[in-house]
C-alpha cells in the first residue's frame, strides 16, 4: 500500500512525489507535543522514529505467528521461520546483498564485536586453514580513522591488546575530511584490517569508500565498514562497494531496537570462525566437540530477534516505498538549509564544515560560552529534540578541541518547518544564557 506521503501524478508517466509532511502521518510520536510545543525531532542519528507499518508488522507477528524459528515442526514455528527468512531476504536486498550474506545481530555494536572476536578466534587457531588468513601477530596493524564511533574503535583496541597487533588511525583535515595522503602512507604491507565509518555520526560527512577499499585491497587487508549512519539515508549496494564486511542497526533506520545486520562477502563469512556459540548454529555436537552450520547461521547462536527482524523488513520496505534516492536528496537539502542558517548565527562553530563534500542531514556544533548540555536543555524546553555530549566519539571531539557538542540529525520525516524551528531555537541560546554580551 502506498504511504500517505507518496502520491502519483499522471503525466507523462506515473511519478512518485516525495512529501515529508504527509509521511509524518505514519509516525504517531511526531503528532505529540513536548513541553507544550509541537515535537521537532532532530535526533534520528541516535534513534529514528518508527512508522505504523513497522509497529504493525511486529505486532502482527507477535499476535499471530509468535514461535521459535528453525526449531519446532508445528504450524506456528513453520510460519515464523518463513517470516524470519523472508525478512532476511528483504533486508539483505535493501543493501544489495544475497540472503546468505546477511547475519542477524542485535545491532552494529554487536556486529563489530563479532568480527573483532572472530578474528581473535582465528588468531587462536580456530576455524582451521580457511580462517588462518585472518590471524594477527605482533607487528601486524589495524587501521581505523580519527572519526570513529566508539563501537568501531574499542573492539579494535581490544583485539590489538589480545594479539599484539598495533592500532593506527587515519587523521582528519580541519574541515573534517579524511586525510587520504596520510591513509595511503598508513595502509601498507603490515595492515591486516581497515575499519572505517561510511558516514561520521558527528560530522555527517560521507567518507570516500572506494579510495579506502582500494588502499586496503592493495595491502591485502580486510575492510570493515560501519554503515549505521548511511543505511537509512543513502542507497547502498554493499557488494558493489567492495567492502568485505559491514554492519548497520535497525533502530537507526525506522526499525525496532535489538536487531541489526552483519553483511559479508560470502568467502569472508564462510572463512571466519564463529564468535557466540550454542544452540541453532551447529550441525553435530558431542561432549568433546561440535561442528558448525555454514554462514550466516553459524553467527546466529541462540534465540534470534525474530519480531524485530520482521519489523526491520517492514522498515526497509517503507524506505524503498519512499525512494531512497528521494530520501537522500530531501535530507541533503535539509542539511544545506541547516548549515546556511547555523553559519549566520553568531557564536556557532560547525564541526566538519567542508565546503564541497557529500553528506547526510546531520550537523554537530559548539555554542560559544554555553555548554552543550545547557544548549540541549534550552532547545528541549521548546520541544526540539537534539543530541548533546560526545556522541560516543570522544577522540573526534578532542581533535576539534572540545569535550561535547550539540548534534541535530534529520530523517525522511523532517521538514523545512522543523529546520526553521530549530534555527530559531538556536538563535535564542546565547542570549538566554547571557553569552552574547
Quick one: average pLDDT of 23-31? Answer: 97
- Dig out the grid coordinates for 358 from the structure: 557529500
Domains located in the chain, CATH noted: 6-50+323-432 (3.90.1150.10), 59-319 (3.40.640.10)
Report the alpha-carbon distance of residue 366 to residue 223 in Å, rounded.
33
- The region of weakest confidence among 64-73, 111-120, 236-245 is 64-73
Res. 371: pLDDT tops 60? yes
For residue 253, what are the CA distances in angstroms to 74, 294, 363?
Answer: 33, 28, 18
Active site residues: 392
Q: What is the mean pLDDT of the chain?
A: 95
Res. 2: pLDDT tops 70? no
Res. 131: pLDDT tops 50? yes
> Which pLDDT score is estimated for 10?
45
For residue 376, what are the CA distances in angstroms to 32, 251, 428, 432?
Answer: 19, 22, 12, 13
DSSP characters over 109-144:
HHHHHHHHHHHHHHHTTTTHHHHGGG---TT-EEEE
CA angle 434, 436, 437 (to 5 degrees): 80
Q: Give 17's contacts (C-beta < 8 A, 6+ positions apart).
A: 6, 7, 8, 9
pLDDT in tens, 420-433: 999 999 999 999 99
pLDDT in tens, 237-249: 999 999 999 999 9
pLDDT in tens, 198-221: 999 999 999 999 999 999 999 999
Res. 190: pLDDT tops 70? yes
- The region of weakest confidence among 10-24, 352-366, 414-428 is 10-24
pLDDT in tens, 148-189: 999 999 999 999 999 999 999 999 999 999 999 999 999 999
Amino acid at each position: 500500500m502506498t504511504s500517505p506521503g507518496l502520491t502519483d501524478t499522471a503525466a507523462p508517466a506515473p511519478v512518485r512525489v516525495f512529501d515529508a509532511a504527509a509521511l509524518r502521518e505514519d509516525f504517531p510520536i511526531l503528532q505529540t507535543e513536548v513541553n507544550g510545543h509541537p515535537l521537532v525531532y532532530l535526533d534520528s542519528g541516535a534513534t529514528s522514529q518508527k512508522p505504523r507499518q513497522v509497529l504493525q508488522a511486529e505486532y502482527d507477528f507477535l499476535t499471530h505467528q509468535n514461535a521459535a524459528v528453525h526449531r519446532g515442526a508445528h504450524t506456528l514455528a513453520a510460519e515464523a521461520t518463513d517470516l524470519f527468512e523472508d525478512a532476511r531476504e528483504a533486508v539483505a536486498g535493501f543493501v544489495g546483498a544475497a540472503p546468505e550474506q546477511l547475519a542477524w545481530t542485535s545491532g552494529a555494536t554487536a556486529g563489530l564485536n563479532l568480527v573483532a572476536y572472530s578474528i581473535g578466534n582465528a588468531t587462536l587457531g580456530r576455524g582451521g586453514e580457511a580462517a588462518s588468513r585472518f590471524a594477527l601477530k605482533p607487528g601486524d596493524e589495524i587501521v581505523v580513522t580519527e572519526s570513529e564511533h566508539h563501537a568501531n574503535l574499542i573492539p579494535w583496541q581490544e583485539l590489538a591488546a589480545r594479539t599484539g597487533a598495533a592500532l593506527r588511525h587515519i587523521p582528519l583535515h580541519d574541515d573534517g575530511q579524511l586525510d587520504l595522503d596520510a591513509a595511503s602512507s598508513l595502509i601498507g604491507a603490515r595492515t591486516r584490517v581497515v575499519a572505517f565509518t561510511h558516514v561520521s555520526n558527528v560530522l555527517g560527512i560521507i567518507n570516500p569508500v572506494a579510495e579506502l577499499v582500494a588502499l586496503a585491497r592493495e595491502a591485502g587487508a580486510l575492510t570493515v565498514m560501519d554503515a549505521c549512519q548511511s543505511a537509512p539515508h543513502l542507497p547502498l549496494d554493499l557488494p558493489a562497494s567492495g567492502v568485505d564486511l559491514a554492519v548497520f542497526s535497525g533502530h537507526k533506520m525506522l526499525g525496532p531496537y535489538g536487531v541489526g545486520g552483519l553483511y559479508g562477502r560470502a568467502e569472508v563469512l564462510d572463512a571466519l570462525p564463529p564468535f557466540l556459540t550454542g544452540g541453532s548454529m551447529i550441525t553435530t555436537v558431542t561432549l568433546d566437540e561440535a561442528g558448525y552450520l555454514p554462514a550466516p547461521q553459524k553467527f546466529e547462536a541462540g534465540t534470534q530477534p525474530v519480531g524485530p527482524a520482521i519489523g526491520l523488513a517492514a522498515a526497509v520496505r517503507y524506505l524503498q516505498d519512499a525512494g531512497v534516492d528521494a530520501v537522500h536528496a530531501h535530507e541533503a537539502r535539509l542539511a544545506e538549509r541547516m548549515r546556511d542558517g547555523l553559519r549566520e548565527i553568531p557564536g556557532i562553530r560547525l564541526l566538519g564544515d567542508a565546503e564541497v563534500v557529500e553528506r547526510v542531514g546531520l550537523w554537530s556544533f559548539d555554542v560559544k560560552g554555553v555548554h552543550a548540555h545547557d544548549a540541549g536543555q534550552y532547545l528541549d524546553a521548546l520541544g526540539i529534540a537534539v543530541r548533546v555530549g560526545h556522541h560516543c566519539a570522544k577522540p573526534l571531539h578532542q581533535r576539534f578541541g572540545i569535550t561535547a557538542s550539540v548534534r541535530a540529525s534529520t530523517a525522511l520525516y523532517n521538514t523545512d518547518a522543523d529546520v526553521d524551528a530549530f534555527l530559531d531555537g538556536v538563535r535564542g541560546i546565547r542570549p538566554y544564557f547571557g553569552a552574547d554580551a
